[in-house]
């Protein structure tokens, strides 16, 4: 099997398949397997996968187990509502962990290096994908350096601007109009860290600001997101650090002080895509952001990609024990994953609208959040809970018992 893309989704899928005895080659366009960006939130639907892959202990060793997810007003600074994370292992079969993206990728990379049937190939930018004839089956890819690779199946895990996705979709990514500045700093360099062990999200009209500790509390992650009015007005200077400061002028003292230490070297426009109803073309299939890029408001991008990899490996293993039909296995994989990922994509858009509400909608949202029972998990349980096959377990019974009427 060939996997195009050596990010978290690609290496997670490689490890899941390699541990099941499949020969896997991962083609990564970058000269090294590295991850840019900053912090990453791993909910129980992801940590269960990491536990199954045998790497969760390494993740826990370098990550942080936060106490709560907290929503606060970016304007007043007042807490609106929270979600206790400390019993998630009991409720959902996996903890809630925050970790630097590069730390998670390094853990997955080292685990893949330990599998003799996984071949990692950096510096291999795929430029063309050719299905082989029906008699031979499989897929051939050509790389920018002229090399070719052939396998019985191809997985496109090559991100938002996926080359493999063009086999099934010619559409373009959708720009949300929002821009992010983000990064992790040594804790002592942060202008205004919070004093809690929480993931804090300060939400407000057209903006939000996120803070939480990383890497055994030695780093601190900060993300500032704002709607670019300059982009809406058609200006060329949209999304600049100057517009960042302008957008947060209404924010409370804590957020504006914290903003002074945000990393400003690069802007990150926020994109997603419309959900697809098909990820497969012959023996090629999509995974992660190549299949279902989503906005960040539910912190589910990497989580869903890890679930994809586990589901794909399971479908291929079941096919190997049965008919051996690779295309049928790819169909089974996408049938399992398309529905749940599409729901998360759509829900993330709605959640972003709620975070960034203004006027009357903002006031109504804040009233609801302040009145919300912190033990109410109706909105997260469908995403975090165990898959249907495990619903009879004690973990899912605990979820039902803690969630009230669902």
pLDDT at 133: 58
Tokens linked to 12: 């997670």
pLDDT band at 405 (very low <50, low <70, confident <90, very high): very low
- Determine the straight-line distance between the first and last CA of the chain, rounded to whole angstroms: 41
**Which residues make Cβ contacts (< 8 Å) with residue 9, sequence separation at least 6?**
157, 287, 288, 289, 290, 302, 305, 306, 308, 309
Q: What is the pLDDT of residues 317-353, one digit of tens each?
A: 999 998 789 999 999 999 999 999 999 999 999 999 9
* Count of other CB atoms within 10 angstroms of residue 168: 20
pLDDT band at 136 (very low <50, low <70, confident <90, very high): low
Q: Rounded to an integer, what distance in angstroms lies between the CA atom of residue 157 and that of residue 25?
A: 12
pLDDT at 330: 97
Percent of the chain with pLDDT over 90: 90
Q: Which residue has the tokens 């399971």?
A: 314
Spatial CA neighbour of 216 closest among 54, 100, 69, 67: 100
Q: What is the pLDDT of residues 39-94, one digit of tens each?
A: 999 999 999 999 999 999 999 999 999 999 999 999 999 999 999 999 999 999 99
The lowest-confidence range among 169-183, 209-223, 265-279, 383-397 is: 383-397
Active site residue ranges = 212
Q: Rounded to two decimals, what is the model's pTM?
A: 0.94
pLDDT at 403: 36
pLDDT at 401: 35
The mean pLDDT value for 263-285 works out to 96
pLDDT at 387: 64
pLDDT at 105: 97
Q: Does 2-172+273-403 carry CATH code 3.40.50.2300?
A: no
Q: What is the pLDDT of residues 138-150, one digit of tens each?
A: 899 999 999 999 9
Spatial CA neighbour of 334 closest among 321, 354, 351, 315: 315
């Amino acid at each position: 099997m060939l996997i195009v893309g050596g990010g978290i989704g690609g290496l997670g899928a490689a490890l899941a398949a390699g541990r099941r005895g499949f020969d896997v080659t991962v083609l990564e366009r970058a000269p090294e397997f590295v991850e840019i960006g900053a912090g990453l939130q791993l909910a129980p639907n992801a940590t269960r996968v990491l536990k199954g892959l045998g790497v969760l202990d390494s993740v826990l060793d370098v990550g942080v187990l936060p106490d709560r997810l907290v929503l606060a007003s970016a304007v007043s600074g007042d807490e609106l509502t929270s979600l206790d994370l400390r019993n998630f292992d009991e409720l959902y079969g996996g903890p809630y962990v925050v970790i630097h993206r590069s730390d998670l990728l390094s853990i997955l990379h080292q685990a893949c290096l330990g599998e003799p049937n996984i071949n990692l190939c950096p510096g291999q930018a795929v430029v063309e994908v050719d299905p082989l004839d029906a008699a031979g089956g499989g897929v051939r890819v050509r790389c920018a350096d002229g090399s070719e690779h052939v396998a019985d199946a191809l997985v496109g895990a090559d991100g938002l601007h996926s080359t493999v996705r063009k086999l099934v979709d010619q559409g373009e990514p959708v720009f949300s109009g929002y821009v992010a500045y983000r990064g992790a700093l040594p804790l002592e360099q942060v202008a205004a860290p919070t004093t809690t062990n929480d993931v804090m999200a300060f939400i407000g009209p057209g903006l939000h600001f996120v803070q939480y500790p990383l890497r055994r509390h030695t780093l601190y992650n900060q993300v500032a997101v704002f709607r670019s009015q300059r982009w809406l007005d058609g200006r060329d200077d949209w999304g600049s650090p100057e517009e960042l400061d302008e957008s947060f002028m209404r924010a409370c003292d804590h957020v504006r002080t914290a903003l002074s230490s945000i990393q400003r070297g690069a802007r990150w426009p926020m994109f997603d895509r419309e959900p697809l109803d098909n990820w497969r073309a012959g023996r090629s299939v999509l995974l992660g952001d190549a299949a279902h890029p989503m906005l960040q408001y539910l912190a589910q991008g990497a989580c869903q990609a890890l679930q994809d990899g586990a589901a794909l490996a399971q479908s291929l293993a079941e096919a190997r024990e049965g008919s051996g039909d690779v295309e049928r296995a790819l169909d089974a994989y996408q049938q399992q994953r398309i529905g749940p990922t599409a729901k998360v994509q759509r829900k993330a858009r709605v959640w972003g609208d709620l975070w960034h509400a203004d006027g009357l909608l903002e006031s109504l949202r804040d009233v609801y959040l302040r009145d919300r029972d912190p033990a109410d998990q109706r909105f997260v349980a469908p995403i975090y809970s165990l898959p249907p096959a495990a619903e009879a377990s004690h973990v899912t019974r605990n979820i039902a018992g803690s969630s009230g009427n669902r």
